[in-house]
Structure 1
Amino acid sequence: MATNISIKLKLIILAIVITFSFIFIVISERSAMHELQTLAKMDHHTEELNVKLLELRKDEKDFLVRKDLKYIESFKKTLNEVFEIKELLKYELTYFDLNTTSLEEYEKTLKLYGKKFIELSEIQKRIGLTPTDALYGDLRAKVHQVQDYAKKQNDTYLLSSVYDLRKQEKDFMLRYKSKYIGKFNKIIKKLLDDNRYTQMHPLLKDYQTSFLALTKLEEKKGFDHKSGILGELRATVHKTDKQLEILTKIIAKAFVEKKDAISLYSLIVTSSIAIFIIFALIVFNRQISKSLIEFEKGLNNFFAFINHETNDVKPLNDKNNDEIGNMAKMINKNIENAKINIQKDRELIDDATQVANKIKEGYLSSRISHSSNSNELNELKNVINEMLDTLSSNIENINSVLNEFAKYDYTKEVKTSNINGEVLQLCENINIVAKSINEMLKESKSIGLGLQVSANTLVTNVDNLTTNANSTAASLEETAAAIEEITSTIVKNNESVQQMSTNSQKVKTAATNGEKLANETTSAMDEINEQVRAINESIGLIDQIAFQTNILSLNAAVEAATAGEAGKGFAVVAQEVRNLASRSAEVAKEIKHLVEVATSKATDGKEISAKMIMGYSELNENIHSTINLISDISTASKEQQIGMEQINDSINQLDKQTQEIANISSNTQHISEQTNSMAIEIVNNSDEKEFIGKDSVQGKNIDLQNFSKPIETKKQTIHKQERENVKVSKRSTEIKENSSSDDEWESF
């Protein structure tokens, strides 16, 4: 019966059987996959529980470290998410009839963990979230009261005891050891037992009460992770880890068991279906193979004819009533027509081969001329000829544009109308290249124009910089010369002061000798007539000393006026010295008058001699004071000399640096000129080419404000320095004029 069934029906029956078999397998697999996915979700939920538990622990750690209330809210939110995941996991365990005891214990433990954390957070709130609130703030206020009181008492023992209390408090805060509480109480007790600090006892008791209240809460909270609520939290967390591990093992075991069951079921069903399909295929294959072998022999004979292996072809066996027999009958009808058509096709193919060889060599003018009875081959011939016409036209278009490119004219573009595919992409790419070249040339010309403007500006600025640097160098040279003149003047003044000191010593010696002579005058008044000449000589010496002292005070007044505000005191002293010199001159005149009448007035001469001795003593003291003042002036002059020498060295160093800046600016000017030449060359090179937008290109704008500011600042600095140089030159000239006009000082 199977031999009368067509191959199509046989294949349909076999396809239906295979289709239903695969549908059954797919349904079974989807059911199994659903169960495996559910088990995988359960495993994923356990991992989520583990992650959420880590998040809870993170929030716990963050709260303990940062004392921020936002971590409490985050803890509560995460805990609610854990309970939601737990409900899903409980439903899935129930679906597979798995034990939920571990999950229920995990829920109880987690609730306990949340309760302990809330209790811990409440204790921390009572302790204080910041150093200024709750017990923290209260303790700080109390300890500051105690410390302020101790500082006001000015008692070293009390202050050291208070600092020791703070040390024990800080040690407890850092290490959370109970021994520091005992040390704290011991120090407090010693202060409370001391009757000297009775007024301080209330403050100490308040301080102790606040500290002990804080330590009790810290102890309840836990000094470490093994005590107090912290220890309970650790134990709870470890318990949840174990429960979650047990739950994970249950889910993993169920997953393995379900996977093994599904694998065994799939193997049995798949093997049964495969055996049935193989048996059906063998039966159908035997019947179809027999018909196909005969059909194959006929086709081989026909293909041998087509391939020129034989000159004739035999008809196929068309006795069967199945599809193969029907195909053999149809093939036999077309074998004769095929003989004629194959010959024409061969002619057309030979012609196409010749045309293809020409195209391969690069010639596109050849066309296919032969025809065939096959519409497809004729259509292929027409399509190939049209393709060659279109390709030739496109290549001519492309060549025309490329020839213009070779002449540096980039304004042309390839026409893309009625073009598609890779040729269109080629034409578009050529047009894109042309646009890119146009943009590049526009950008190049724009950069060249902008660079040209910038280079011109740079040349101008560098030229200004060179001019200003040279001006600065010249100004510094003038300043150095003025400083050297000032230094020379100070050295000369210092030498003059030294000479003044030497002359003052001589004056002091002369005053001492005058005093000695006055004493001799008193003891030898009886021989006054014989000593008149000596007295006259003494009077002449006194006149000379008075004259020189007057000149000295005059020069001291000039120096004080030159010193300005700082020399006012010295001017007063100079005036007093001048007055003293005047008085000395008056005394000398009086002594001279007394000598003239000494012969008749010996007794009066003795009294006058006594007065003269007193005048000499006062003169000696004043001369001593003058010597001290001259010594001070000498020291100040030396210091001024050292300072001016240092200023002179600095000016010389600055002058050297300015010369280097001038050299650098000169080199920079040469570089800017080269840059300007390069910019001009870029613009000229761009103008030699033709491209779109060539005449509308503008130079790129460059912000030159940052280049002008330093130049302006340099100019202002130079002007300021020139003004200073003028002032120094004028002052130096004044000093020289004063020095040259002081004839009396030069004579002294």
Structure 2
Amino acid sequence: MNFLSRMRLLYQISLIGAVSLVIFVVVGGVQFAAEHQRRSAQSIADMTLDNRLVADAISKDFLNARRREKDFLLRKDEKYVAQHADVVASVIAGLEQLSREPSLGAFDAQISQIETAFANYTAKFATVVELQRDIGLNEEEGLLGRLRGSVHNVEEALKKYNADNLTVIMLMMRRHEKDFLARLDPKYVGRIDDRLAEFGPALAALAIPADDKARISDLMKSYVTDFKALSAKILQREEELGFLSAFYAEAEPILDDISLAIGSIAAAEKQRAEQIAATSLTVTIVMYVAGIVALLGLSLLLSGAIVRAISGLTGKMTRLADNDFDVEINEVNRSDEIGEMGRAVRVFRENGIERAKLEEAQRAQDERRRKRMEIQEQYIKEFDEAVVAVMSDVGSAVEQLHQVSNVLRDSAKTAT
């Protein structure tokens, strides 16, 4: 505590406030740093959660793309192509957003793999759309329309001659056509060729003009050609559809894994933010308690030192008041108000010592004066006694003189 004695009491008392300020600043700094870390973790958690929402939206849009794909194939309506394009744009935007996110750098390879798979899917769907347009969006368009026209021409030509055998073959070919369209099995294409092989001899055996035979044969070949073109497009479309499913199957589990991984990161960051908040609260409470204890200790230390110094100085002043000047006033070495009081008390002690010396000198002088007065009084008494003795002797002599005088007077009277 010697260093405190070099400070004025105002500064010593202000030291408590300064320590309090330091404690609050430290606690505030800890809270600020903890809050910054918590906000950072919470921000990462929120951002990661947003990324998961984007990943989930991509997965949902990918599924919606497949739904628009199925809707187009079932309903053969161009509006589903436009809707599919909108969904594709949404998926591409979501994937670009994920690929630009710095926090997802660990998933760049997977995201790139998904982008590649989805790009292939989009390209294959475009191919499927073109194939379907070639096939025909309804029975009046594309290869379906051409096939229908070829069938109509053959049937009209056969009606003129009531060729039951050829009609039966034709019906069998139409049945293979329907079976193919229903089952998409290439074997029915071969059966069409078998029926065509039967149709030629049957047509040749029919008693009709050669020009009509040639025209019917050409119409039948045109029908078979259109059917084969249609079947080739349909089989190609189905093959491309298989690629669509493969690309979706390739991307879907990766996207699910990314979503789960991002969700785990978000949960971990959220837990970290909560842990930081809990730790910050604990540290703050501990630091506040430690600060309060330190302040109480410092207050008790300062107050005790001041009280002891003042009490000691009061005791010394009491001893000085009782003329006990054998007191060591070590408070004079302090630089504070107590030091000033100590120096004032030292002056009081020195004045007391001087006063005691003066009083002692006065007493000695008074004693000398008293003794001198006693001697003088003794001398006066002795003088008085001597005078009285002399006067007594003189009185006796005078008395004797009176007696002698009286004797002489009487003698004189007698003599006369």
Counterpart of 1:187 in structure 2: which amino acid? Answer: R
Question: Out of 190, 193, 203, which is 2:219 matched to?
Answer: 203
Contact residue 176 and residue 192 of structure 2 kept, 8 A: yes
**Larger helix fraction of residues:** 2
Structure 1 residue 239, shift from structure 2 partner:
0.3
| Of 85, 101, 110, the match for 2:94 | 85
Aligned mates of 1:240, 1:56 — CA distance in 2: 13
* Residues 1:272 and 2:280 are matched in the alignment: no
Structure 2 residue 123 is matched with structure 1 residue 123: no
Q: How does 1:365-376 map to 2 (within 5 A)?
A: none
CA contact (8 A) 1:67 1:129 kept: yes
Structure 1 gaps, min length 5: 223-227, 289-748
Cα deviation digits, residues 458-500 of structure 1 (max 9, x gap): xxxxxxxxxxxxxxxxxxxxxxxxxxxxxxxxxxxxxxxxxxx
Give the partner amino acid of 1:137: G
Q: Does 1:255 align with 2:266?
A: yes
Task: Provide the residue aligned with 1:59 in structure 2.
Answer: 68
Which letter maps to 1:214? L
Measured against aligned partners, the alpha-carbon deviations of 1:180-199 in whole angstroms (never above 9, x if no partner) come to 22222222211112213524
Which of these residues, 14, 25, 28, is aligned with residue 37 of structure 2?
Answer: 28
Match of 2:200 in 1: 192
Residue aligning to 2:149 = 141
* Residues 1-50 of structure 1: per-residue CA shift (max 9 Å, x gap): 99968x99999998777666544443332222111111111211110110
CA distance in 2, matches of 1:96, 1:208: 56
CA distance in 2, matches of 1:147, 1:96: 65
Deviation at 1:275, TM superposition (A): 0.1
Counterpart check, 1:217 vs 2:217: no
- Name the aligned partner's letter for residue 203 of structure 1: L
Match of 1:48 among 57, 65, 70: 57
In structure 1, what is the Cα distance between the partners aligned to 2:281 and 2:41?
14
Separation in structure 1 between the aligned mates of residue 281 and residue 167 of structure 2, nearest angstrom: 93
Q: 1:214 to 1:97 in 2, by over 3 A?
A: closer
SS of aligned partner of 1:131: coil
**Within-5 A mapping of 1:270-669:** 270-281=281-292
Cα deviation for residue 59 of structure 1 reads: 1.2
**Cα distance between partner residues in 1 of 2:156 and 2:172:** 15
Equivalent position of 2:188 in the other structure: 180
TM-score (normalizing by structure 2): 0.60
Instruction: Tell me the CA shift for residue 281 of structure 1.
Output: 4.6
Structure 1 residue 164, shift from structure 2 partner:
2.1
Distance 2:90 2:122 in 1: 13
Alpha-carbon separation, structure 1, partners of 2:163 and 2:50:
74
1:39 paired with 2:55, answer no
Note the C-alpha offset of 1:201. 0.8
Q: Give the SS at the match of 1:235.
A: helix
Partner residue of 2:257 out of 240, 246, 249: 246
User: What one-letter code is carried by the residue in structure 2 that aligns with 1:77?
Assistant: D
Q: CA deviation at 1:175?
A: 1.6
Higher radius of gyration, 1 or 2: 2
In the superposition, the TM-score normalised over structure 1's length comes to: 0.34
Deviation at 1:277, TM superposition (A): 1.2
Q: What is the alpha-carbon distance in structure 1 between the residues aligned to residue 199 and residue 243 of structure 2? A: 39
Alpha-carbon distance, 1:51 to partner: 0.8
Give, in angstroms, the shift of residue 162 of structure 1.
2.1
Match of 1:104 in 2: 112
Task: Please state how far the C-alpha of 1:250 moved relative to its aligned partner.
Answer: 3.7
Instruction: After superposition, give the CA deviation of every residue in 1:292-330 in whole Å (9 maximum; x if it has no partner).
Output: xxxxxxxxxxxxxxxxxxxxxxxxxxxxxxxxxxxxxxx
Native 8 Å contact 1:102 1:246 kept in 2:
no
Contact 2:135 2:233 in 1 (8 A): yes
Mapped contact 2:55–2:259 kept (Cα < 8 A): yes
In 1, the alpha carbon distance for the partners of 2:287 and 2:260 equals: 41
Q: Kindly indicate whether the alpha-carbon contact (under 8 Å) linking 2:34 and 2:280 is maintained by their aligned counterparts in 1.
A: yes
Post-superposition CA distance 1:190-239 (Å, at most 9, x none)? 111221352421111111111111111111112xxxxx111111111100
Instruction: Quote the Cα distance in structure 1 between the aligned partners of 2:282 and 2:66.
Output: 52
1-structure distance, mates of 2:182, 2:293: 88
Distance 1:91 1:97, change over 3 A: same
Letter in 1 for 2:262: I
CA distance in 2, matches of 1:65, 1:31: 50
Instruction: Report how far residue 178 of structure 1 moved.
Output: 2.2
**From 159, 163, 181, the counterpart of 2:167:** 159
1:229 aligns with 2:240: yes
Once the two structures are superposed, residues 335-361 of structure 1 have per-residue CA deviations (whole angstroms, 9 ceiling, x without a partner) of xxxxxxxxxxxxxxxxxxxxxxxxxxx
Secondary structure of 2:243's aligned partner: helix
Structure 1 position 136, deviation (Å): 0.6
Distance 1:133 1:95, change over 3 A: same
Q: Is the 8 A contact 2:139 2:148 kept in 1?
A: yes
> Cα offset for 1:274?
1.5
Q: Given residue 58 of structure 1, which amino acid in structure 2 is its aligned partner?
A: R
Provide Cα deviations, 1:274-294, integer angstroms capped at 9, x if missing partner: 201123456779999xxxxxx
* Alignment size in residue pairs: 281
Q: Which secondary structure does the structure 2 equivalent of 1:98 belong to? A: helix
Partner amino acid, structure 1, of 2:162: N
Separation in 1, partners of 2:105, 2:218: 70
Structure 1 SS opposite 2:175: helix
SS at match of 2:137: coil
Question: AA paired with 2:142?
Answer: A
How far apart, CA to CA, are the structure 1 residues paired with 2:190 and 2:164?
A: 23
Please give the alpha-carbon distance, in whole angstroms, between the structure 2 residues aligned to 1:22 and 1:260. 18
The SS at the match of 1:100 is helix
Specify the code of the residue in structure 2 equivalent to 1:207.
Answer: Y
CA distance in 2, matches of 1:241, 1:99: 15
Unpaired runs of at least 5, structure 2 = 1-8, 207-212, 300-416
Distance in 1 (alpha carbons) for counterparts of 2:113 and 2:275: 35
Higher relative contact order (CA 8 A, sep 6+): 2
CA distance in 1, matches of 2:227, 2:170: 14
Match of 1:46, as an amino acid?
Answer: A
Conserved? CA contact 1:90–1:103, under 8 Å: yes
